[in-house]
Amino acid sequence: MTIWYIARGAGLAALLLLTISTMIGAFMTGRGKSATRVVWSYVHRVTASLGLGALLVHVTSILADPWAHVGWAASIIPFTAGYRPTWIGVGTLAVYTFVAVAAVGVARARIAVSERGARAWRWLHGLAYAGWGLALLHGFNSGTDSGVSWVRELYIACAAGVAAAVSARVALERGPDLVRSTRPKLGAVR
């Protein structure tokens, strides 16, 4: 039973940390260079790294739990687990996505050396949203404590937090364009 507690606790901790990292990443986009951006960038990286560490503990403890029915093969090959294969497979895809996004994050200085490289890096790093969504679906549908009210509320809070961060990002990105389009041009005839 102790392994189950570790597995579920680490899974929920990973979701919470990766949610915080995703929210910070959404808020940081397009903010230029400043001292505050450096701090938020650091916090973004630290929460992502801690989230990946919690994810490692989650996967390792699930593999060590004889009652989980998730073997090494199922942890590597999606949709082959003996227990809820679809949702465990979604979790495996989430892990792959997060590892790929982390690798892209580490390689940013080498990838984003040109405008084209920077666009490619942003697109690849943006896959973190997909990984986060897959992780949320995995936890909600394969978690044995998803029926517990506070766990369900945690899933809802994580979803609401990321939705709010992405909405704020979109609003901030479109804000100047909306202001410019409604402002009359100098010398324009009315």
Give per-residue pLDDT as tens, 52-63.
999 999 999 999
Q: Calculate the CA 82 to chain-centre distance.
A: 26
pLDDT of residue 68: 81
3-class state of residue 121 by DSSP: helix
Domain that holds residue 64: 2-182
Task: Report which of 154, 169, 185 is spatially closest to residue 16, judged by C-alpha positions.
Answer: 154
Distance of alpha carbon 145 from alpha carbon 119, whole angstroms: 40
Is 187 part of any domain?
no
Q: Which amino acid is at 50?
A: L
Total count of domains within the chain = 1
Contacts of 101 (CB under 8 A, 6+ apart): 124, 125, 127, 128, 131
134-187 residue pLDDT tens: 999 999 999 888 899 999 999 999 999 999 999 998 888 776 555 444 444 555
124 assigned to some structural domain:
yes
**Domain contains 12:** yes
Question: Which pTM value belongs to this model?
Answer: 0.85
Within a domain: 131: yes
Let me know if residue 113 belongs to a domain: yes
Mean pLDDT computed over every residue of the chain:
88
- Examine residue 188 and state whether it is found in any structural domain, yes or no: no
| Cα(171)–Cα(184) distance, integer angstroms | 21
Considering the domain boundaries, does residue 190 fall inside one?
Answer: no
Residue 161 is encoded by which pair of tokens? 């937090």
Domain CATH code at residue 66:
1.20.120
